[in-house]
Chain A
Amino acid sequence: MSLLEIKNLHARIGDTEILHGIDLTIGRSEVHAIMGPNGSGKSTLSYVLSGRDGYEVTEGDILLDGESVLEMEADERARAGMFLAFQYPVELPGVGGMAFLRAAVNARLRESGKDEVDQLEFVKMVRAEAKELGIKDDMLKRPVNVGFSGGEKKRYEILQMALLKPSLAILDETDSGLDVDALKIVSEGVNMLRSAERGMLVITHYQRLLNHIVPDQVHILAGGRIVKSGDKTLAIEVEENGYAGLGDAA
Chain B
Amino acid sequence: MVATVETIEAVEQATGAYKYGFVTDIETEKAPKGLSEDVIRFISAKKMEPEWMLDWRLKAYRYWLKMTPPDWAKLNIPPIDYDDIYYYAAPKSAEAPKSLDEVDPELLRTYEKLGIPLNEQKMLAGVAVDAVFDSVSVATTFREELAKAGVIFCPISEAIREYPDLVRRYMGSVVPVSDNYFSALNSAVFTDGSFVYIPKGVRCPMELSTYFRINEKNTGQFERTLIIAEDSSYVSYLEGCTAPQRDENQLHAAVVELVAQTDAEIKYSTVQNWYPGDETGKGGIYNFVTKRGACRGDRSKISWTQVETGSAITWKYPSCVLKGKDSVGEFYSVAVTNGAQQADTGTKMIHLGEGSRSTIISKGISAGRSNNTYRGLVEMNKAAENSRNFTQCDSLLVGDTCGAHTVPYMVSRNPSAKIEHEATTSRISEDQLFYCLQRGLDEEEAVSLIVNGFCKEVMKELPMEFAVEAQKLIGISLEGSVG
Interface residues of A (CB under 8 A from B): 50, 52-54, 73-75, 78-79, 83-84, 86, 89-96, 99-100, 103-104, 107-108, 111, 143, 160, 164
Query: What residue of chain A has the Cβ atom nearest to residue B471's Cβ?
Result: A99
Instruction: Classify chain B's interface size.
Output: 20 to 34
Q: Is the CB of A94 within 8 A of B443?
A: no
- What's the Cα separation between A104 and B439 when bound, in Å? 6
Q: Is the CB of A95 within 8 A of B438?
A: no
Bitwise, B433-455 to A at CB < 8 A (1) or not (0) is 01111111111011001101111
Query: What residue of chain B has the Cβ atom nearest to residue A77's Cβ?
Result: B438
Q: B430 on the interface (CB 8 Å rule)?
A: yes
User: Knowing A107-B440, A107-B442 touch, does A74 contact B449 (C-beta < 8 A)?
Assistant: no
Nearest-neighbour CB distance to chain B for A169, whole angstroms, equals: 12
List the A side residues contacting B450 at CB < 8 Å.
92, 95
Nearest-neighbour CB distance to chain B for A73, whole angstroms, equals: 7
Query: What residue of chain B has the Cβ atom nearest to residue A105's Cβ?
Result: B440
Query: What residue of chain A has the Cβ atom nearest to residue B432's Cβ?
Result: A90
List the B side residues contacting A89 at CB < 8 Å.
435
Q: B422 on the interface (CB 8 Å rule)?
A: no
Q: B165 on the interface (CB 8 Å rule)?
A: no
Nearest-neighbour CB distance to chain B for A72, whole angstroms, equals: 11
In the complex, the number of residue pairs spanning A and B with C-beta atoms less than 8 Å apart equals 74
A75-B440, A107-B440 given; 4 more Cβ-contact pairs under 8 Å: A90-B429, A95-B453, A100-B436, A103-B445
Could you give 19 example pairs across A and B, Cβ below 8 Å?
A50-B438, A53-B430, A74-B434, A74-B437, A75-B446, A78-B437, A78-B440, A79-B440, A84-B438, A86-B438, A92-B435, A100-B449, A104-B439, A104-B440, A107-B439, A107-B442, A107-B445, A111-B440, A164-B440
Q: Which of B387-446 contact A (CB under 8 A)?
A: 429-432, 434-443, 445-446
Q: Is the CB of A95 within 8 A of B449?
A: yes
Q: B456 on the interface (CB 8 Å rule)?
A: yes
Query: What residue of chain B has the Cβ atom nearest to residue A78's Cβ?
Result: B440
- What's the Cα separation between A84 and B429 when bound, in Å? 18
- What's the Cα separation between A206 and B445 when bound, in Å? 37
List the A side residues contacting B437 at CB < 8 Å.
73-75, 78
Q: Is the CB of B454 within 8 A of A94?
A: yes
- What's the Cα separation between A91 and B454 when bound, in Å? 12
List the B side residues contacting A107 at CB < 8 Å.
439-442, 445
Q: Is the CB of B434 within 8 A of A52?
A: yes
- What's the Cα separation between A93 and B427 when bound, in Å? 12
Q: Is the CB of B452 within 8 A of A94?
A: yes
Q: Is the CB of A160 within 8 A of B439?
A: yes
Q: Is the CB of B438 within 8 A of A94?
A: no
Q: Is the CB of B439 within 8 A of A93?
A: no
- What's the Cα separation between A96 and B454 when bound, in Å? 11
- What's the Cα separation between A27 and B255 when bound, in Å? 68
- What's the Cα separation between A52 and B449 when bound, in Å? 19
List the A side residues contacting B429 at CB < 8 Å.
90
Nearest-neighbour CB distance to chain B for A113, whole angstroms, equals: 15
List the B side residues contacting A160 at CB < 8 Å.
439
Nearest-neighbour CB distance to chain A for B483, whole angstroms, equals: 10
List the A side residues contacting B440 at CB < 8 Å.
75, 78-79, 104, 107-108, 111, 164
Nearest-neighbour CB distance to chain A for B62, whole angstroms, equals: 50
List the A side residues contacting B439 at CB < 8 Å.
78, 100, 103-104, 107, 160, 164
Q: Is the CB of B434 within 8 A of A95?
A: no
Query: What residue of chain A has the Cβ atom nearest to residue B363's Cβ?
Result: A94
List the B side residues contacting A92 at CB < 8 Å.
432, 435-436, 449-450, 453
Nearest-neighbour CB distance to chain B for A188, whole angstroms, equals: 23
Q: Which of B246-304 contact A (CB under 8 A)?
A: none
The 8 closest A-B pairs by CB, nearest first: A94-B453, A95-B453, A94-B456, A104-B439, A107-B440, A78-B440, A90-B435, A74-B437
- What's the Cα separation between A111 and B452 when bound, in Å? 24
- What's the Cα separation between A103 and B432 when bound, in Å? 15
List the B side residues contacting A53 at CB < 8 Å.
430, 434
User: Knowing A52-B434, A90-B431, A90-B432 touch, does A104 contact B456 (C-beta < 8 A)?
Assistant: no
Query: What residue of chain A has the Cβ atom nearest to residue B483's Cβ?
Result: A53
Query: What residue of chain B has the Cβ atom nearest to residue A54's Cβ?
Result: B430
Nearest-neighbour CB distance to chain B for A156, whole angstroms, equals: 12
Nearest-neighbour CB distance to chain A for B319, whole angstroms, equals: 27
Most chain B CB inside 10 Å of its own CB: which residue of A75, A100, A104 = A75
Q: Is the CB of B455 within 8 A of A103?
A: no
Bitwise, B141-176 to A at CB < 8 A (1) or not (0) is 000000000000000000000000000000000000
- What's the Cα separation between A160 and B439 when bound, in Å? 8
Query: What residue of chain A has the Cβ atom nearest to residue B455's Cβ?
Result: A94
Q: Is the CB of A99 within 8 A of B449?
A: yes
Q: Is the CB of A75 within 8 A of B441?
A: yes
List the A side residues contacting B452 at CB < 8 Å.
94-95
- What's the Cα separation between A99 and B429 when bound, in Å? 20
User: Knowing A100-B449, A107-B445 touch, does A93 contact B438 (C-beta < 8 A)?
Assistant: no
- What's the Cα separation between A218 and B446 when bound, in Å? 35
Query: What residue of chain A has the Cβ atom nearest to residue B434's Cβ?
Result: A52
- What's the Cα separation between A108 and B452 when bound, in Å? 22
- What's the Cα separation between A86 and B454 when bound, in Å? 22
Query: What residue of chain B has the Cβ atom nearest to residue A111's Cβ?
Result: B440
Q: Which residue of A84, A93, A108, A164 is within 8 Å of B454 (Cβ)?
A: A93
Bitwise, B316-340 to A at CB < 8 A (1) or not (0) is 0000000000000000000000000
List the A side residues contacting B435 at CB < 8 Å.
86, 89-90, 92
List the B side residues contacting A52 at CB < 8 Å.
434, 438
List the B side residues contacting A143 at CB < 8 Å.
453
- What's the Cα separation between A74 and B437 when bound, in Å? 6
Nearest-neighbour CB distance to chain A for B271, whole angstroms, equals: 19
Query: What residue of chain B has the Cβ atom nearest to residue A52's Cβ?
Result: B434
List the A side residues contacting B438 at CB < 8 Å.
50, 52, 74-75, 78, 83-84, 86
List the A side residues contacting B456 at CB < 8 Å.
94
- What's the Cα separation between A218 and B443 when bound, in Å? 35
List the B side residues contacting A96 at CB < 8 Å.
453
- What's the Cα separation between A54 and B433 when bound, in Å? 13
Query: What residue of chain B has the Cβ atom nearest to residue A110's Cβ?
Result: B440
- What's the Cα separation between A75 and B446 when bound, in Å? 10
Nearest-neighbour CB distance to chain B for A154, whole angstroms, equals: 14
List the B side residues contacting A93 at CB < 8 Å.
453-454
Nearest-neighbour CB distance to chain B for A23, whole angstroms, equals: 24
- What's the Cα separation between A103 and B440 when bound, in Å? 9
Nearest-neighbour CB distance to chain A for B429, whole angstroms, equals: 8
Nearest-neighbour CB distance to chain A for B427, whole angstroms, equals: 13
Q: Which of B444-483 contact A (CB under 8 A)?
A: 445-446, 449-450, 452-457
Nearest-neighbour CB distance to chain B for A153, whole angstroms, equals: 11
Q: Is the CB of B443 within 8 A of A75?
A: yes
